[in-house]
Structure 1
């Protein structure tokens, strides 16, 4: 099977990271021509990127309508967290069964990255890394299906936080992750599940609380920032820097 073109990969990663870090707020329009101009891509390739993001629960793309960053309802938010709580408990049980000392070192590395982002004042980066902690934990469960669904649930929770939650706030998430690691090391599945349940309850309380301010930057500015950083890191493909505003 042929691999997606580098342009598609860069566009997908730039948009996904911008959404997860809430640089692109739920409901933001994603015009195909503007995205295509930044990545020198045809509308066909842009649609492939948007379809991929839609399959991950990040984008709402309807026929004959401009795609937007997905905008969850309060009922959907509650359903997502109900499902995630159940899946997180099973992840903990599976990880304990497969536990190796290397797992702890790997997870602690992510917690250090969270702490560093918080100390730099990069709250949105910190939030994305907090989600990655749970995705990595699901990967360590050894169940590829659980890992896939957990990744989708985590991204949906990020959108829920953007709509209903309290962004830009130090909420102790990294400390809670450290407690989860300690519980996993203990090998006590019941205790670890209880700690995870408490953590998820706190996450839900932070995520479903109120309305965020509608202070949306221009799509072109966001794409230039994220795509430029990704391109500098991974490839030398030139990108268009300026796009006429919509």
Structure 2
């Protein structure tokens, strides 16, 4: 990896986490100079991170207009959720054909983190909820499936940030437990049904009314994430 690409990783990681945890809302401008000052890096390094996020659909990077957190349309939102249904239905069916012991152990460990976080940190609950689905895909052993699920889960976080009035982490934890139980029993049909119901619930809770984008200081937000990444 090129040196400048290496240096852009902390910027990329912090921006991505801030977007997924909804600290940086859809539509928020991402000025290269301010971000560069926050991380002590050049604008070229910041741009490398923004280009990567743009390729993942998390940032809109336009010539002569700068970068901003992506703003999915309602039509894109419905399409993304439909594609997610297809991908994650395949994920749980594959897992049900595997040895359940190591799969369930990994999922139970993650679920315990989600349960422990309830009522304490909304941002962390949102991130852990998405990471549960990414973990499911990773456990299939398919890098391709893991890559696409990772990207589509991240884009769904943007949809929730833009359109949802409220996010119920408790509902998500209960539904995740049902999915794990179906996988433990090797019941592909049940697992797929649970996943469909779960994602439909996420979609129904997400596609409500858009909130106004609040004016926030991007540098202050990213300073917190930079410190988190360095811990």
Larger helix proportion of the pair: 2
Q: CA deviation at 1:166?
A: 2.7
Q: CA deviation at 1:11?
A: 1.0
Alignment of 1:1-246 (within 5 A): 1-2=1-2, 7-120=7-120, 122-231=121-230, 233=231
- In 2: Cα distance, 1:185 partner to 1:134 partner: 16
Is this contact kept in 2: 1:167–1:212, CA < 8 A? no
Pair 1:66–1:123, CA change in 2 (3 A): same
Aligned-residue Cα RMSD (Å) equals 1.6
SS of corresponding position for 1:44: helix
- In 2: Cα distance, 1:45 partner to 1:3 partner: 10
Q: CA deviation at 1:201?
A: 0.8
Pair 1:106–1:216, CA change in 2 (3 A): farther
After TM superposition, the score normalised by the length of structure 2 is 0.95
- In 2: Cα distance, 1:184 partner to 1:53 partner: 33
In the other structure, the counterpart of 1:241 is none
- In 2: Cα distance, 1:4 partner to 1:111 partner: 37
After TM superposition, the score normalised by the length of structure 1 is 0.89
Give every structure 1 segment of 4 or more consecutive aligned residues whose post-TM-superposition deviation is greater than 3 Å.
Answer: 1-7, 167-171
Is this contact kept in 1: 2:126–2:169, CA < 8 A? no
SS of corresponding position for 1:60: strand
Structure 1: which 5+ residue stretches go unaligned?
Answer: 234-246
Is this contact kept in 1: 2:118–2:170, CA < 8 A? no
Pair 1:139–1:185, CA change in 2 (3 A): same
Q: Number of matched residues?
A: 231
- In 2: Cα distance, 1:99 partner to 1:208 partner: 36
Structure 2: which 5+ residue stretches go unaligned?
Answer: none
- In 2: Cα distance, 1:169 partner to 1:141 partner: 27
Pair 1:139–1:3, CA change in 2 (3 A): farther
- In 2: Cα distance, 1:25 partner to 1:184 partner: 35
- In 2: Cα distance, 1:207 partner to 1:37 partner: 34
Pair 1:168–1:188, CA change in 2 (3 A): closer
In the other structure, the counterpart of 1:237 is none
Is this contact kept in 2: 1:123–1:169, CA < 8 A? no
